[in-house]
Every structure is written in C-alpha cells, then in structure tokens.
Amino acid sequence: MPNTVNSAITDSVTQANTLVVGEAPATAMGNLMMATSQAIATAGQNLTFGQQQADVVWQAATVQGVNALLNTGEAVTGKVSGQIISRG
C-alpha cells in the first residue's frame, strides 16, 4: 500500500478545511446577532404588554375614583334633600 496521497485530494481537503475555518467567525457573529436581536425583540414585546396592562389598571382606577365621587355627591344631595323635605 503506497504512503503517498494524490495531490488533488490533499488540495481538496485543504480547501474544504480553509473554507470551514474561514466561515466560522462570520457564522459565529451571525448567530450572536440573531440571538441578540431576538432577545431585544422579546424585551420590547414584554414592555409593550406591560404598558398595556398598566393602562387597563389605570383606567379601572380612574373609573372607580369617578364612581366614588359621583356616589358621594348623590349621598350628600340625598341627605340635604331629606332635610329640606323634613322641614317642609
């Protein structure tokens, strides 16, 4: 069995290895950028969702406050009306 290898085969293997080694940094940076952009997008979605939920809570609190004010007004008006009627 001969110990020599055809030079075309060694050139082919060398070129394939060089291609893989040459593309590795670009592939790694691409993977990093994809992971980073996905994380940033998810964070943005979470912030938007949180803001929407806060808006719902603030609206509910406002409605409760307005209802409390209106009910207080009716109670005071009812008491005063009752006093006026009783004086009759």
pLDDT tens readout for residues 11-70: 777 777 777 777 888 889 999 999 999 999 999 999 999 999 999 999 999 998 888 777
Higher pLDDT, 2 or 12: 12
Rounded CA separation 49/69 (Å): 31
Q: What is the pLDDT of residue 41?
A: 96
In Å, how far are 6, 40, 59 from 16, measured between CA atoms?
16, 36, 63
Can you give 48-82 as a three-state secondary structure string? HHHHHHHHHHHHHHHHHHHHHHHHHHHHHHHHHHH
